[in-house]
Structure 1
Amino acid sequence: MSEFCYQYVVLRCVPRPEREEFVNVGVVLYCQESDYLDVAWQVDRDRLATFAPGLDLDRVVAALEFVAGVCAGDARGGEAAIRPLGQRFGFLKAPKSTVVQPGPVHGGVTADPASALAHLRERLVG
C-alpha cells in the first residue's frame, strides 16, 4: 500500500485573541497526492462555556460548518469552496481574526488520510 504525505492544521476556538488562550475544536487534513481535503471537529459545549462564558457557541459551530463546506466543495463554503483543493487548504490555513483560527501547519505520512484525520482529531481535540 502506498503512503502519502499530508499537511494538517488544528482549528482553535480563540474567544479573546489578546489573551492568547484557545481550545482545540477541529483538524483540517490535506493530502495532495490522494486528492483529499477534509475536516473533523467536535465542540464540547460545556467545556467552551466554562472556558469562555458568554461565547456564542452557535457561532463556533457555524464557523466549523463553513470549514466543512470549504473542504467538501459545497454551498456552505461559499466562493472558497469552488477552488481547487490546494487553494481551499491554503484559504483554511491562513490566519483569520475570527473565533475559530488555524494553528501552525504540520505534516505526516499515511496510507489512509481519512484514518489519519480521525486519529488526529481524537488525539488533538478529544
Structure 2
Amino acid sequence: MSDRHVFEYALLRVVPRVERGECVNAGVLVYCRPKTFVAARTHLDEARLLALDPAADLPGVRAALRAVEGVCAGGEAAGQAARDDAGRRFRWLIAPRSTIVQPGPVHTGLTADPAAEAERLLDLLVR
C-alpha cells in the first residue's frame, strides 16, 4: 500500500483592484482528507503588491491572510469555523468571493507529508 495520499490545494491571491484583474500570489491552502490535514501558508510580497496598487491596504491584507491561517488552524482563532472539520473549513475557504484575498482554482496531487507539501508549494508558487 502506498504511503502517499491525495491532497487538494489552492493558491491565495491578492486582487487589489478587481476591475484590473491583476493579482499577486500570497499563499497556499492545502487539504488532505486521509490525514485530516488543512493548513494555509502565506507570504506577502508587499513591494509586488504595491507595484500593482500603491494605495493597497497592506495591514488589511495581512489581517485577511492571518484570518485564513487561523481558520485552517482551528481552535479559537477559527471563530465559528472551529466546530467544523478540516474538510468543511477548506471548502469554506476555497469558495469564490469578491474580497481582496481570493482563492484560486483547486488542484490535486499525491503526498506523503501534507505539511511539507504546503511549504514546497509556497516556495514554488508564491515566493
Q: What TM-score comes out, normalization by structure 2 length?
A: 0.94
The equivalent of 1:108 in structure 2 is: 109
| Mean CA deviation greater in 83-92 or 45-54 | 45-54
Measure, in 2, the Cα distance between the counterparts of 1:67 and 1:77. Answer: 8
How many angstroms does 1:80 deviate by? 2.0
Measure, in 2, the Cα distance between the counterparts of 1:47 and 1:11. Answer: 15
- Residues 69 and 76 in structure 1, CA contact (< 8 A), matched pair in contact too: yes
The equivalent of 2:93 in structure 1 is: 92
Q: Where does 1:35-50 land on structure 2 (aligned, <5 Å)?
A: 35-50=36-51
Q: Which amino acid in structure 1 is aligned with residue 50 of structure 2?
A: A
Runs of 4+ in structure 1 deviating by more than 6 angstroms, as ranges, are none
The equivalent of 1:9 in structure 2 is: 10
> What 5-or-longer segments of structure 1 have no aligned partner?
none
Secondary structure at the counterpart of residue 26 of structure 2: strand
Q: Where does 1:28-67 land on structure 2 (aligned, <5 Å)?
A: 28-67=29-68
- Residues 69 and 81 in structure 1, CA contact (< 8 A), matched pair in contact too: no
Percent identity of paired positions between Structure 1 and Structure 2: 46
Please say if 1:73 is aligned against 2:80: no
Measure, in 2, the Cα distance between the counterparts of 1:118 and 1:37. Answer: 13
Aligned length: 126
Secondary structure at the counterpart of residue 35 of structure 2: coil
Q: What TM-score comes out, normalization by structure 1 length?
A: 0.95
Measure, in 2, the Cα distance between the counterparts of 1:69 and 1:14. Answer: 21
| CA-to-aligned-CA distance 1:62-113 (integer Å, 9 cap, x gap) | 1111101110003333212321111000100001111000000000001111
The equivalent of 1:124 in structure 2 is: 125
Q: Which amino acid in structure 2 is aligned with residue 8 of structure 1?
A: Y
